[in-house]
Amino acid sequence: AQKITQTQPGMFVQEKEAVTLDCTYDTSDQSYGLFWYKQPSSGEMIFLIYQGSYDEQNATEGRYSLNFQKARKSANLVISASQLGDSAMYFCAMREADTGGFKTIFGAGTRLFVKA
């Protein structure tokens, strides 16, 4: 079974509008971390935002916010006031305990296109 599921292979959004990128996860652990990364066409992976499983408030970082719904096991990324530079691949990831340490699992990604 997929640990991280991003159901939207591609999304379109009009410039200046908000967009939500979906992410659901599967874990039986109580303690875990959720991350979002952006990968522009240039290829680098850019850290955007982090949410801990015990954090009661949704994480926010500038125009990025994470809509964390623990009971539904979802961690959707909300980008407000989209800009042309937001066009990129976005990856959701989960960090959880593993034998002897921790592991981070990435979803398949969602490609976001911002239209002018």
Partner 1 sequence: DSGVTQTPKHLITATGQRVTLRCSPRSGDLSVYWYQQSLDQGLQFLIQYYNGEERAKGNILERFSAQQFPDLHSELNLSSLELGDSALYFCASSSAGADITDTQYFGPGTRLTVL
Interface with partner 1 in residues 75-104 (CB under 8 A)? 91, 95-98, 100-104
Q: How far apart are CA 94 and CA 106, in angstroms?
A: 7
Q: Left (φ > 0), alpha (ψ -120 to 50) or beta: where does 85 sit?
A: alpha
Name the one range near partner 1 by CB under 8 A: 8-16, 35-43, 59-67, 75-83.
Answer: 35-43
Q: Does 61 bind partner 1 (CB under 8 A)?
A: no
Question: Which of 34, 37, 35 has the alpha carbon at shortest distance from 112?
Answer: 37
CB nearer to partner 1: give 13 or 34.
34
Q: Is 14 helix (H, G, I), strand (E, B) or coil?
A: strand
Interface residue with partner 1 among 44, 57, 85, 116 (CB under 8 A) is: 44
Name the one range near partner 1 by CB under 8 A: 8-16, 31-39, 57-65, 73-81.
Answer: 31-39
